[in-house]
Structure 1
């Protein structure tokens, strides 16, 4: 499982899908399996490519986008989408992450 350093935790990146069965979900857990953060947000009515996610890089997740890019988990597309009163970053999963996604 890929790892990323976020807020002084070495985290495993757990890949699943949201309830729609299509949209990838990335969750970070510590070495004991305790949840640290959910990196993605599911934006209803947004049609994304199957290898794309919306990253929540605000509030308690500030800095998670940069950490995931540095860990080669995803690539930024430069596109954003409104998420409530904030902005979500549309990113493409790397081939490393797509391999994990295909098994869920």
Structure 2
């Protein structure tokens, strides 16, 4: 999966946090000047254990606008499911798209 974030063409890399919550990083796409480099960490792991099809997105500070990039790239659904307060900010929870869930399942099969 690919997204464009702040003018950077990125590959979406899925993983999981230690508690099983979904994690998303944006990595510079092949053929770009920043190929393979970490462009941004889209997700954040809060205190809550989320459903398998939900991800917490960091939308503050340097990540402003990342939610829209993920929506436009077909990674997350556009509907905000809820907020998880954490300090002075709140983690935004979104449902992953069917395409994202397929990518996550492929990774699980490879690890098995």
Instruction: Answer yes or no: same fold by TM over 0.5.
Output: yes
Q: Which runs of 5 or more structure 2 residues have no equivalent in the other structure?
A: 30-34
1:14-53 paired onto structure 2 within 5 Å: 14-20=13-19, 22-31=20-29, 32-44=35-47, 46-53=48-55
Q: Which runs of 5 or more structure 1 residues have no equivalent in the other structure?
A: none
What TM-score results when the alignment is normalised by the length of structure 1? 0.91
> Whole-Å Cα distance in 2 between the matches of residues 93 and 78 of structure 1?
11
> Whole-Å Cα distance in 1 between the matches of residues 57 and 92 of structure 2?
5
Structure 1 segments, 4+ long, off by >4 Å, are: none
**Structure whose alpha-carbon radius of gyration is higher:** 2
Partner of 2:32: none
Q: What secondary structure, in the 3-state scheme, does the structure 2 residue paired with 1:79 have? A: strand
Q: How many residues align?
A: 101
Q: Which has the higher helix share?
A: 2
Partner of 2:5: 6
> Whole-Å Cα distance in 2 between the matches of residues 64 and 97 of structure 1?
16
RMSD: 1.1
Could you give the per-residue CA deviations for residues 31-79 of structure 1, whole angstroms, max 9, x where no partner exists? 21100111000002x1311110110011000000011011111013341
